[in-house]
């Protein structure tokens, strides 16, 4: 089991280092990357503000802009952000801002990421990157044309536990040929009816906000993209028939008729279904020899367990994985470090979530919407 009392204490009582002006040899250190935030979103503290405090030599959350200037100033005061801007455009235009984090509603990602790229500002872009695959292709083609780094913020991807699971299931000699993936991320009463993530006009829906996670897990661990999808079960949100309150989708792949990928996601999951699937995000991967259950792939820094069972003997091995010296680092911290190093031209040895993956993930999301008979987000 991966939850120790000492790690739990250090998670609750975070210790933040002081920024340095010189290194161990007395040489001056490079100034940190100055990051601007578009929108006073609730996820910003978890995603960049607190992680930046862990690495003050690398990243400084420098400014925030919101549509409500008063809200931006309060947000800056609450989180010790030194600067505010009166508009998104003003923040993007500020030469002091070296990169931009975009946690705006889904339907605004495409518009504001394009504007950042136009101004040559690297972007850490909240998931889902865009409202649909066509937008994703245009966005990342423009980023390539302008030679601007844009990274979709699938933070789970950067934790060492994710790579350990990938290594286990990729070892065909030991693990066997993978035949089925099942991933779930479901909640029921967490989202209020006025939540922007339930608004079609802002590209809301369960597949967009929650399903994109197990879809990305599926593609990563199976190592290929699905070619078809069919609806197993879905329920629309009663207040808007274009919004998926819950969806279960089965994907198929060209590599094998036997290989299947099943994704469950719900912002308004029926209680009977939630009881069956559970509220803890989970990945189940089954092969010809073994099965693997990865509990809490979304936030393995809080808790996770990787259970591998030999189908022939019934023997079960439980594992967990943390980076030495960074046992309490969140998935967001690993992501921010990798992004900052990539912007500054450094190398942590961590692969970024690629633009090709972002496009392919949106294609799989669109595929799911077509399968359940709901319109694509726009």
Q: What share of the chain has pLDDT > 70, as a percent?
A: 93
Average pLDDT of the residues of the chain: 94
What pairing do the DSSP bridges indicate for beta strands 33-38 and 59-65?
A: parallel
- CATH numbers and ranges of domains, the chain: 13-155 (3.40.50.720), 157-330+352-372 (3.30.360.10)
Residue with tokens 């030469």: 95
Residue 1 pLDDT class (50, 70, 90 cuts): very low
Tens digits of residue pLDDT in 192-250:
888 999 999 999 999 999 999 999 999 999 999 999 999 999 999 999 999 999 999 99
For 9, phi and psi rounded to 5 degrees? Answer: -60, -45
User: In this model, does residue 190 exceed pLDDT 70?
Assistant: yes
Q: What percent of the chain has pLDDT over 90?
A: 87
What are 63-84's pLDDT values in tens digits? 999 999 999 999 999 999 999 9
Amino acid 221: pLDDT:
98
Residue 193 has a pLDDT of 86
Q: What is the Cα–Cα distance from 253 to 207, expressed in whole angstroms?
A: 20
Kindly provide the b/e burial profile for residues 116-130, where b requires at least 16 CB atoms within 10 angstroms of the residue's own CB. bbebebbbbbbbbbb
pLDDT tens for 104-145 read 999 999 999 999 999 999 999 999 999 999 999 999 999 999
Beta bridge partners of 61: 35
Name the burial class of residue 207, with classes exposed (0-12), middle (13-18) and buried (19+) by CB atoms within 10 angstroms of its CB: buried
CA–CA separation, 184 vs 64, rounded Å? Answer: 34
**Pairing mode of beta strands 99-102, 33-38:** parallel
Per-residue pLDDT for 291 more than 60? yes
Tokens of 348: 């942590």
Backbone angles phi, psi at 320, to 5 degrees: -145, 170
* CA atoms within 13 Å, Cβ hemisphere of 375: 9
Segment 84-101, tens digit of pLDDT = 999 999 999 999 999 999
Q: What is the mean pLDDT of residues 319-342?
A: 95
């Amino acid at each position: 089991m991966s939850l120790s009392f000492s790690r739990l204490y250090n998670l609750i009582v975070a210790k933040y280092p002081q920024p340095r002006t010189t290194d161990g040899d007395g040489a001056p250190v490079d100034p940190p990357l100055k990051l601007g935030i578009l929108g006073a979103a609730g996820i910003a503290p978890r995603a960049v503000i607190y992680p930046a405090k862990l690495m003050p030599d690398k990243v400084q959350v420098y400014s925030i802009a919101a549509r409500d200037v008063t809200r931006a100033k309060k947000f800056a005061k609450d989180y010790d952000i030194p600067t505010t801007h009166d508009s998104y455009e003003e923040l993007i235009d500020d030469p002091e801002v070296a990169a931009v984090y975009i946690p705006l509603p889904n339907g605004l990602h495409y518009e504001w990421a394009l504007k950042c790229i136009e101004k040559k500002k690297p972007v850490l872009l909240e998931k889902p990157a865009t409202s649909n695959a066509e937008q994703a292709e245009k966005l990342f083609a423009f980023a390539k044309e302008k030679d601007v780094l844009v990274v979709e913020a699938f933070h789970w991807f950067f934790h060492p536990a994710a790579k350990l699971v990938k290594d286990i299931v990729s070892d065909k000699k030991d693990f066997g040929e993978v035949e089925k993936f099942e991933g779930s991320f479901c909640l029921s009463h967490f989202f209020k009816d006025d939540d922007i993530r339930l608004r079609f006009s802002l590209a809301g829906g369960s597949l967009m906000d929650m399903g994109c996670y197990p879809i990305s897990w599926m593609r990563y661990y199976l190592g290929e993209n699905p070619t078809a999808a069919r609806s197993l079960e879905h329920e629309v949100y009663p207040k808007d028939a274009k919004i998926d309150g819950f969806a279960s989708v089965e994907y198929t792949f060209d590599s094998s008729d036997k290989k299947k990928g099943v994704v469950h996601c719900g912002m308004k999951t029926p209680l009977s279904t939630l009881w069956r699937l559970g509220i803890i995000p989970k990945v189940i991967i089954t092969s010809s020899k073994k099965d693997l259950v990865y509990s809490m792939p979304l936030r393995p820094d809080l808790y996770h367990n990787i259970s591998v069972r030999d189908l022939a003997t019934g023997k079960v091995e439980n594992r967990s994985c943390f980076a030495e010296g960074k046992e309490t680092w969140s998935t967001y911290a690993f992501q921010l470090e990798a992004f900052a190093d990539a912007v500054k031209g450094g190398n942590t040895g961590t692969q970024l979530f690629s633009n090709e993956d972002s496009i392919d993930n949106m294609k799989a999301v669109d595929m799911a919407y077509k399968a359940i008979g709901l319109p694509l987000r726009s």
